[in-house]
Amino acid sequence: MKIVILEEGQNLNDIAIQETGSHESVFEIALENNFDLGHDPPVGTPIKIPRIQKPEIVNYYKERNIKVVSE
């Protein structure tokens, strides 16, 4: 299981898109990490990523060194 650190300006939806390729996985990430979807964890929080749903989207971000940020 992969672990990422929540960065400034990011929320769980950003992490879901960046790390799994799907915003729908935000629910799975929240459950895996015991997060309340009504409140994003603080910057610097380690987040367990359960699985990649759409590797082609994840690879797009990684190949271009893009961080998803919803600021």
pLDDT digits (tens, 9 = 90+) for 33-61: 999 888 889 999 999 998 777 788 878 87
- Give dist(CA 63, CA 26) in Å, integer: 22
**Which residue type is seen at 46?**
P
**Which residue type is seen at 35?**
F
Supply the pLDDT for residue 37. 85
Say yes or no to pLDDT of 71 above 70.
no
pTM: 0.78
* Torsion angle of C-alpha atoms 7, 57, 65, 20, degrees rounded to 10: 30
- Write out pLDDT tens, residues 3-16: 999 999 999 999 99
